[in-house]
């Protein structure tokens, strides 16, 4: 990957069609991608690259433009109805969205954006069109891939439609560079989507290490109204089948059957997606398993309260069926709390097995119950893991991510120029040959 500072973009268009970086993450369609887009934009702007983020307006109260941070604008594009449009219906609104993105550039001087970075395949489709029009490179981050998600579906979850996979393949083919969170994701892009390995940059996401840091457990519990003396395992994130909060609840029920009062489960987040999507469904599950009194629910929390959740917990569980990275795992570790995670996707990178937490292969309830019992059996070992977790998380900062993105952008701009100079030269040669062929000599 080239790191030439001379090809650093002055201003980029970031496309985040289906979810706004200003939305509260942890419910609906808002999660790690929102955090990623906003945090990297801040870091890029601080390094001198202005960022304009285009997202679909989901309320009539939103102004057309919002300043999210110095050098970072969010453009709320009107495309389709503000409310009630399902993520799966969004492909029908890509045309009006793209039209507004193109119109915005037309209002400015030519060459206003040096590069486009699209997030998720829907944005990639818009980026593909804008790239052709503006003659600038397109960098794409998939965040999740349909083929990967469909290969490990949770019970009750619906498979991603074939059309998404087709759309993803097109975007991957059209992008100048692809950003993958981990080496695993890079391999999936190559194996499942035929991406050229030389066009992929591996750039791990981060956590806001100034916000997520260790702190007093007792004070955090007091702030959240949680009991001081219980062992607490927390789940943080969107409540949807893919995230498998039900696996944690069922495993906790098994532990509590063996040892009543052994732990409390704290679930933080709001509904999202299909199937086991409602906190109500989890409440019903806890009731059916006879552990309703040992499960506490909190709605989605803003970052300054979320850090207290991580500090209050003795352990954070991430039992997802698939996770391209898992920001919650890094945030928890940065707050000094070990993580018990499923051994899937990026979680193998986010958690150091046996050091900063534990990775569990598969989702068998007895395995998860055993892992909980093992970790809670030795409080000193758990505290040691917490210290290692903090050290491990220190490797993942948004500053580091932004540096990786800038290197990817430089490489994209470089290769784009080379390709275009080459095709222009080829074009000139073809017209010269034609002219020579037709008239016997150049005119
Ligand atoms: N989050 C939050 N408040 C909540 C729950 C989650 O701000 O109540 C944020 C959390 O800090 C994390 C993101 O939502 O940055 C979830 O990202 P992750 O990669 O873990 O999962 P995703 O939502 O991308 O599947």
pLDDT, one tens digit per residue, over 318-372 is 999 999 899 999 999 999 999 999 999 999 999 999 999 999 999 999 999 999 9
Of ligand 1's listed atoms, the one at least distance from the Cα of 270 is 8
Q: How much distance in Å is there from the Cα of 436 to the middle of ligand 1?
A: 63
Q: Taking residues 40-60, what's their average pLDDT?
A: 97
The token pair at 13 is 């268009």
Least confidently predicted of 39-43, 136-140, 149-153, 379-383: 149-153
Task: Using pLDDT thresholds of 50, 70 and 90, give the confidence band for residue 28.
Answer: confident
For residue 220, is pLDDT > 70? Answer: yes
Q: Taking residues 160-183, what's their average pLDDT?
A: 97
Measured CA to CA, the distance from residue 65 to residue 72 in angstroms comes to 10
Report the 10 Å Cβ neighbour count for 290: 11
Cα angle: 125, vertex 120, 345; to 5 degrees:
140
Q: How much distance in Å is there from the Cα of 326 to the middle of ligand 1?
A: 8
Q: How much distance in Å is there from the Cα of 440 to the middle of ligand 1?
A: 68
pLDDT, one tens digit per residue, over 423-438 is 777 777 777 677 777 5
Q: How much distance in Å is there from the Cα of 36 to the middle of ligand 1?
A: 10
Measured CA to CA, the distance from residue 132 to residue 127 in angstroms comes to 9
Q: How far apart are the first and last CA of the chain?
A: 43
Contact call for residues 393 and 334 (beta carbons, < 8 A): yes
Task: Using pLDDT thresholds of 50, 70 and 90, give the confidence band for residue 440.
Answer: very low
Contact call for residues 375 and 353 (beta carbons, < 8 A): no
Contact call for residues 371 and 358 (beta carbons, < 8 A): yes
Measured CA to CA, the distance from residue 307 to residue 388 in angstroms comes to 18
Choice from 20, 26, 273 to test ligand 1 binding pocket (greatest atom count within 8 A of CB): 26
Measured CA to CA, the distance from residue 358 to residue 350 in angstroms comes to 11
Q: How much distance in Å is there from the Cα of 331 to the middle of ligand 1?
A: 9
Q: Taking residues 299-307, what's their average pLDDT?
A: 95
The token pair at 258 is 């063996």
Q: What is the DSSP letter of 80?
A: S
Q: How much distance in Å is there from the Cα of 329 to the middle of ligand 1?
A: 9
Measured CA to CA, the distance from residue 94 to residue 84 in angstroms comes to 16
Choice from 31, 39, 144, 351 to test ligand 1 binding pocket (greatest atom count within 8 A of CB): 31
Atom 21 (ligand 1): residue with closest C-alpha?
32
Contact call for residues 179 and 171 (beta carbons, < 8 A): no
Strand, coil or helix: 12: strand
Radius of gyration of the chain (CA): 24
Q: How much distance in Å is there from the Cα of 279 to the middle of ligand 1?
A: 16
For residue 273, is pLDDT > 80? Answer: no
Of ligand 1's listed atoms, the one at least distance from the Cα of 324 is 19
- pLDDT value for 438: 58
For the stretch 102-106, contacts whose Cβ atoms lie closer than 8 Å and that sit 24 or more positions apart, written own/partner, are 102/129, 102/130, 102/133, 104/52, 104/54, 104/75, 105/13, 105/130, 105/133, 105/134
Ligand 1: residues with CB < 6 A are 25-26, 31-33, 35, 236-238, 268-269, 300-301, 303, 306, 325-328, 331
Measured CA to CA, the distance from residue 389 to residue 338 in angstroms comes to 6
Cβ-proximal residues to 81 (8 Å cutoff; 6+ apart), any chain: none
Choice from 34, 327, 351 to test ligand 1 binding pocket (greatest atom count within 8 A of CB): 327
pLDDT, one tens digit per residue, over 77-92 is 999 999 888 888 999 9
DSSP-derived secondary structure for 316-345: EEE--S--SS-HHHHHHHHTT--EEEES-T
pLDDT, one tens digit per residue, over 389-414 is 999 999 999 999 999 999 999 999 99
Q: What are phi and psi of 357, to 5 degrees?
A: 165, -160
Of ligand 1's listed atoms, the one at least distance from the Cα of 242 is 25
Task: Using pLDDT thresholds of 50, 70 and 90, give the confidence band for residue 443.
Answer: very low
Of ligand 1's listed atoms, the one at least distance from the Cα of 268 is 8
Atom 23 (ligand 1): residue with closest C-alpha?
31
What is the ipTM score, two decimals?
0.99
Q: What is the mean pLDDT of the chain?
A: 93
How large is the angle between the packed helices 120-134 and 94-107, nearest 10 degrees? 40
Cα angle: 87, vertex 42, 395; to 5 degrees:
95
Give Cα separations from 283 to 210, 235, 287, 291, 309 (angstroms): 34, 14, 6, 9, 19
pLDDT, one tens digit per residue, over 3-15 is 444 589 999 999 9
Q: How much distance in Å is there from the Cα of 296 to the middle of ligand 1?
A: 18
Give Cα separations from 286 to 134, 289, 296, 301 (angstroms): 54, 5, 10, 22
Cα angle: 244, vertex 310, 358; to 5 degrees:
55
The whole-model pTM stands at 0.92
Give Cα separations from 320 to 17, 139, 277, 313 (angstroms): 25, 27, 14, 19
Q: How much distance in Å is there from the Cα of 271 to the middle of ligand 1?
A: 13
Contact call for residues 371 and 340 (beta carbons, < 8 A): yes
Q: How much distance in Å is there from the Cα of 160 to the middle of ligand 1?
A: 21
Choice from 204, 212, 236, 301 to test ligand 1 binding pocket (greatest atom count within 8 A of CB): 236
- pLDDT value for 433: 74
Q: How much distance in Å is there from the Cα of 274 to the middle of ligand 1?
A: 18
- Positive or negative: CA dihedral 167, 183, 396, 376: positive
For residue 182, is pLDDT > 50? Answer: yes
Measured CA to CA, the distance from residue 214 to residue 349 in angstroms comes to 21
Enumerate the β-bridge partners of residue 52: 13, 73
Task: Using pLDDT thresholds of 50, 70 and 90, give the confidence band for residue 275.
Answer: very low
For residue 132, is pLDDT > 90? Answer: yes
115-119/72-77 β-pairing: unpaired
Contact call for residues 3 and 20 (beta carbons, < 8 A): no
How many helices (H) and strands (E) the chain has is answered by: 15, 14
Q: What are phi and psi of 75, to 5 degrees?
A: -100, 115
- pLDDT value for 84: 86
Report the 10 Å Cβ neighbour count for 174: 17
Of ligand 1's listed atoms, the one at least distance from the Cα of 24 is 7
Task: Using pLDDT thresholds of 50, 70 and 90, give the confidence band for residue 442.
Answer: very low
């Amino acid at each position: 990957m080239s790191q030439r500072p001379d090809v650093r973009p002055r201003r980029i268009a970031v496309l985040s069609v289906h979810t706004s970086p200003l939305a509260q993450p942890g419910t609906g369609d808002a999660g790690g991608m929102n955090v990623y887009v906003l945090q990297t934009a801040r870091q890029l702007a601080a390094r001198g690259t202005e960022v304009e983020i285009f997202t679909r307006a989901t309320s009539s109260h939103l102004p057309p433009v919002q300043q999210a941070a110095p050098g970072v604008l969010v453009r709320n594009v009107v495309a389709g109805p503000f409310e009630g449009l399902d993520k799966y219906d969004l492909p029908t609104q890509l045309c009006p969205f793209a039209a507004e993105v193109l119109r915005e550039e037309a209002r400015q001087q030519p060459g206003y954006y040096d590069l486009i970075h699209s997030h998720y395949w829907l944005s990639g489709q818009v980026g593909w069109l804008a790239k052709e029009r503006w003659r600038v490179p397109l960098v794409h981050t998939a965040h999740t891939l349909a083929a990967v998600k469909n290969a490990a579906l949770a019970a009750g979850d619906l498979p991603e439609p074939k059309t998404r996979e087709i759309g993803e393949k097109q975007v991957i083919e059209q992008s100048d560079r692809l950003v993958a969170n981990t080496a695993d994701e890079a391999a999936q892009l190559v194996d499942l989507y035929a991406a050229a390995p030389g066009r992929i940059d591996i750039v791990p996401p981060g956590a806001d290490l100034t916000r997520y840091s260790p702190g007093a457990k007792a004070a955090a519990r007091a702030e959240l109204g949680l009991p001081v003396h219980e062992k607490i395992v927390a789940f943080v994130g969107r409540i949807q089948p893919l995230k498998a909060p039900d696996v944690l609840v069922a495993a906790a029920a098994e532990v509590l059957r063996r040892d009543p009062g052994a732990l409390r489960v704290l679930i933080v987040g709001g509904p999202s997606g299909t199937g086991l999507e409602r906190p109500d469904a989890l409440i019903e599950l806890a009731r059916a398993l006879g552990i309703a009194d040992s499960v506490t629910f909190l709605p989605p929390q803003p970052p300054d309260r979320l850090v207290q959740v991580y500090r209050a917990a003795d352990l954070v569980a991430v039992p997802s069926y698939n996770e391209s990275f898992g920001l919650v795992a890094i945030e928890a570790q940065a707050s000094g709390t070990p993580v018990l995670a499923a051994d899937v996707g990026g979680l193998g990178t986010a958690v150091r097995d046996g050091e900063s937490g534990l990775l569990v292969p598969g989702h068998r309830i007895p395995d998860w119950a055993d892992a909980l019992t093992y970790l809670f059996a030795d409080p000193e070992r758990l505290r040691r893991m917490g210290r290692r977790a903090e050290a491990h998380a220190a490797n993942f900062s948004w500053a580091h991510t932004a540096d990786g993105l800038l290197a990817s952008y430089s490489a994209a701009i470089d290769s784009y120029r080379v390709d275009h100079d080459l095709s222009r030269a080829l074009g000139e040669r073809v017209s010269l040959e034609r002219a020579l062929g037709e008239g016997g000599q150049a005119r």
